[in-house]
Amino acid sequence: MEAPTARLRVLIADDHAPTRQALRRDLEDGGIEVVAEAATGTEAIDAALRARPDVCLIDIQMANDGIAATEVIRRELPSTKIVLITATPDEAGVLAAARAGADGYLDKDIDPRRLPEVIRAVATGQTAYPRRLLRSLLQALRQAPCA
């Protein structure tokens, strides 16, 4: 008999309450446990340090900056995976996400049935960046001076 697997634990950080509620519903419908919610970057950091989630789903443009929160959480909880979400995916956002150490960068318009699958993939070590923006990321890396 196979041992039961631990349920994936996620923190949601977004300054728009209806968006947090929709993300929570989508994740819970997919069998993922939401262990904390936050409305600002500062709250996201505090909640992550308290709840120690497997994955943080953070709005890149929320109050007190999702990028800054990502950098702190990455430093303080290196095993926690981080996925940034945005309503306006663009080249600058994908570059900022990668530089901050995010494991993924998603459009908030992601199919709700796909979201739990993507979060699970990130939790197992995969990355989740939109293919259409990866080219920009690769070009920026190629142009960066080598250390």
The 10 Å Cβ neighbour count of residue 29 is 12
Could you tell me if residue 84 is inside a domain? yes
How confident is the model over 3-41, as pLDDT tens digits? Answer: 445 789 999 999 999 999 999 999 999 999 999 999 999
Q: Which residues pair with 106 in a beta bridge?
A: 85
Q: Which CATH number goes with the domain that contains 125?
A: 3.40.50.2300
Q: Which two tokens stand for residue 122?
A: 């990130």
Q: Which domain holds residue 41?
A: 9-143
Domain count, the chain: 1
Please give the Cα distance from 28 to 25 (Å, whole number). 5
Residue 3 counted as domain residue: no
Per-residue pLDDT reduced to its tens digit, 48-84: 999 999 999 999 998 779 999 999 999 999 999 999 9
The reported pLDDT for the residue numbered 57 is 98
Q: What is the pLDDT of residues 44-53, one digit of tens each?
A: 999 999 999 9
- Rounded to 5 degrees, what are φ and ψ at 89? -65, 130
Question: For residue 102, what pLDDT is reported?
Answer: 96
